Structure formats: C-alpha cells, structure tokens
Structure 1
Amino acid sequence: MSFRLPKFPMITIFHNPSLKTSTEALSLLQKTSRRYNFEIDLIQSNKQPPTHQQVANIVEYLGNGSIDEGLAQVLVPEVEKKPSTVAEVQEILDRNPKYLRKPLLVDWNRGKALIADPPKRVFEMVKGAYEERLNSRRSELSSRPLRRLKKLLRNRKKLKKNSTRSKKGYKEMFPEKKDPQQWIHATKKRLDEKKQLINELELELNWYRLVHSGIGIGVESEEAETMKNLLKVKS
C-alpha cells in the first residue's frame, strides 16, 4: 500500500510584471512552490482576458460565495463604472483585460481566490492549500504522525538489513520460499513506500519552518519540535 499524498493543486497567478507588488507575490509563490512541490500557472498577459466561466468563478471565490463582495474586489479602482453583476465584469474585461486586479491568486481545485496585496498574502493561499492536503490524508496516517514516524525510523534500518541478506541466510530464515530475489524486490518496494511517507512528513516539518520564518502566520507546536528531533536520528 502506498502512503503517497495527493498531488498539490496548481495555483494560478494573474500577474502584471510592471507592478512591484505583483513581482514580489510571484517571487514568494515560486519559493514556496519549490519547497512544497506544487505547480504555478503564470498568466501575465494584459491582452487576453479570463474566460467568462473563469470570471464568474473568480468573483465567487474572491467573495467566499458572496457575489457582491467578489464584485468589489475583482477590478482595479480606476474603473469608472463599478459593476453590479458578473456579466458587467465580463464586458469590462472583454474590452480591457488590464482592468483585472493583480496580483490575483486562484486555486481552482479548492475554489479559493485572493488579491495578493500585500504580497505576504501569498502564504494565506499556500497555508490553506497545504493544510487541506495534509488533512485529507490524516485518516491514512492514522492521525498519529509522530507514532508512525517513530515506527518507520525503526523499521527502515530493519528493512534495509533484511533486503541485503545473503541467499544462505534467506534460506535459513524462510526455507519455504523459493525465490529470494522476489522477496528482496518486494522488501525494497515496501522500503521505498516507507521512505516516501517519511519524505511527506518532512514536508510537513517544512511547513512549520515556513510558519516561523518571520511571516507570523502560525505558532510552533510541541508536535513540530518532537518531529524535528526524530528526524535528526541517523539510521
């Protein structure tokens, strides 16, 4: 059985390279994408507007379900006539795509969007997406990552030792088996799965490090400190 977490959802950024705020937001998003292994959909053209369906979704996502709140955020303040409907927003952007407010971040999978102004709001999007990704697999991780991590750190060394046993030692331990290579292959496969889970727990640790990198969007927990100490153990 594989313990692999679902793929981190892609985050779209509607970007204006001439805006300092947008450039800083993109830089932060790129840094976190490398750490947490998610993809960025970069849209920086002011000539091609979002599709009508995308506009409707963005308005809804910006307002967290409230169309009125979304309408108040989706366009730049320079627009003379404030839209009262999604259709009016679509008409405005069809005529002039640069009126879309940027930097705009959208997570289509989660139905979330925000204006990354100030740029550190990027971490609100990353935090929400990452926590949802972890929570979706809590049951598979038995909701006890520390206990599982301790067990895996013990088993990893044992599995490595078992996978390198000699053919003679193998026959002594498992006289009923006929194919030691097949057993070794299966053992290595299980070991790879265990390593994958450890890597995923290390990603969770990276989130705690991100929280405490001066951004001020979270609090260090006792669990995080214990996991850090465990991962320092050499096997």
Structure 2
Amino acid sequence: MFRFPKHKDIITLYHKASSPSSMRVAALLKKQQTAAIEAGKPEFDLQISEEVAPTPTQVGTILDYLGNNRISSLFEGASNKEDALKVFSQSPDSFKRPTIVDWNNGKVVIGENESEILKMLNALAK
C-alpha cells in the first residue's frame, strides 16, 4: 500500500548559551536527534533559537499548548494567557529558557527535565 512520507516533526529549543541547564538540554536534543537517525527512528528537525525571541504569535501558541495551569512556569506571576502576553510584550527576556516546543504535536517542556524531554521525543515515533 502506498503511503505519503510523514513530514519531520519540528522541535524548537529556545536556548540561552550562558545557562548551564540550557547547554545540557541542547546537548541532549542533539544526541537524541543523531540517535534517531542512526536507529532509523522518525527524525525531527531541531531548531535552536538563541538570538531570536519567539514572536508574539509563537508565544500565544506555546501558551495554548501549556494551558492556564502551566502558564506561570513560563512567565512568572502570569495566571492566564493575557497576563503572559502582557509580560512578554513588556520584557521579551521574561520568556524562560530553556524551553522546548514540539510544534507538530503541541507539546512544551520548560527547563531541563530530561525525562519529560525524552517522553516528548519518544512520542514522535507514534
């Protein structure tokens, strides 16, 4: 049976090179990307964004993925999407890094929780 090839999932790491935790996350993601290729598992496109903050539209999408109960983990003191967008518009540096976003599957991991990152990446194979 003919099937169209699946597009690669896009994973973005919002990275801060001066942060040891962000450096560990970048290394983990690169290692997992290489391992997926070598094992013949579904590959993903890894985008590491250090210089560029997410756009307000991207932040809005990320907040939708998080849901109201997790917004404060990305923007301290924000209790809803509107609060978070206001904080971001006033200070784009308030966006916590490292933050990993799986755009195709609507998942977000904030920080360096390795088990959550691996769980996100393992879900790509399904």
Given that residues 22 and 119 in structure 1 are in contact (C-alpha distance below 8 angstroms), is that contact kept between their aligned partners in structure 2?
no
Given that residues 14 and 53 in structure 2 are in contact (C-alpha distance below 8 angstroms), is that contact kept between their aligned partners in structure 1?
no
1:44 aligns with 2:50: yes
1:53 aligns with 2:57: yes
Among candidates 117, 121, 124, match of residue 122 of structure 1? 117
What 5-or-longer segments of structure 1 have no aligned partner? 133-235
For 1:70 and 1:122, locate their aligned partners in 2 and report how far apart those are by CA, in whole Å.
16
For 1:95 and 1:72, locate their aligned partners in 2 and report how far apart those are by CA, in whole Å.
16
Q: Which entry has the higher C-alpha Rg, 1 or 2?
A: 1
Q: Match of 2:57, as an amino acid?
A: Q
Instruction: Provide closer, same or farther for how the CA distance between residues 59 and 70 of structure 1 changes in structure 2, counting only shifts above 3 A.
Output: farther
For 1:89 and 1:3, locate their aligned partners in 2 and report how far apart those are by CA, in whole Å.
41
User: What TM-score do the two structures reach when normalised by structure 2?
Assistant: 0.80
How many residues matched? 120
Which structure shows the higher strand fraction?
Answer: 2
Given that residues 74 and 101 in structure 1 are in contact (C-alpha distance below 8 angstroms), is that contact kept between their aligned partners in structure 2?
yes
1:33 aligns with 2:33: yes
For 1:28 and 1:4, locate their aligned partners in 2 and report how far apart those are by CA, in whole Å.
30
Write out aligned runs for 1:11-26 (5 A).
Answer: 11-26=11-26
Q: Match of 1:30, as an amino acid?
A: K
- State the 1:5 CA deviation: 4.5
Report the 3-state secondary structure (helix = DSSP H, G, I; strand = E; otherwise coil) of the residue aligned with 1:17. Answer: coil
For 1:120 and 1:94, locate their aligned partners in 2 and report how far apart those are by CA, in whole Å.
31
Given that residues 74 and 100 in structure 1 are in contact (C-alpha distance below 8 angstroms), is that contact kept between their aligned partners in structure 2?
yes
Q: Deviations over 1:22-62 (max 9, x none)?
A: 111111101111222321111112xx432222112211212
Which structure shows the higher helix fraction?
Answer: 1
Report the 3-state secondary structure (helix = DSSP H, G, I; strand = E; otherwise coil) of the residue aligned with 1:39. Answer: strand
Q: Match of 1:27, as an amino acid?
A: A
Structure 2 equivalent of residue 180 of structure 1: none
For 2:109 and 2:116, locate their aligned partners in 1 and report how far apart those are by CA, in whole Å.
8
For 1:74 and 1:129, locate their aligned partners in 2 and report how far apart those are by CA, in whole Å.
23
User: After the TM superposition, which segments of 4 or more aligned residues of structure 1 sit over 3 Å from their partners?
Assistant: 1-5
For 1:116 and 1:85, locate their aligned partners in 2 and report how far apart those are by CA, in whole Å.
20
Instruction: Provide closer, same or farther for how the CA distance between residues 31 and 4 of structure 1 changes in structure 2, counting only shifts above 3 A.
Output: farther
Identity of aligned residues (%): 23
For 1:128 and 1:39, locate their aligned partners in 2 and report how far apart those are by CA, in whole Å.
15
Q: Match of 2:45, as an amino acid?
A: E
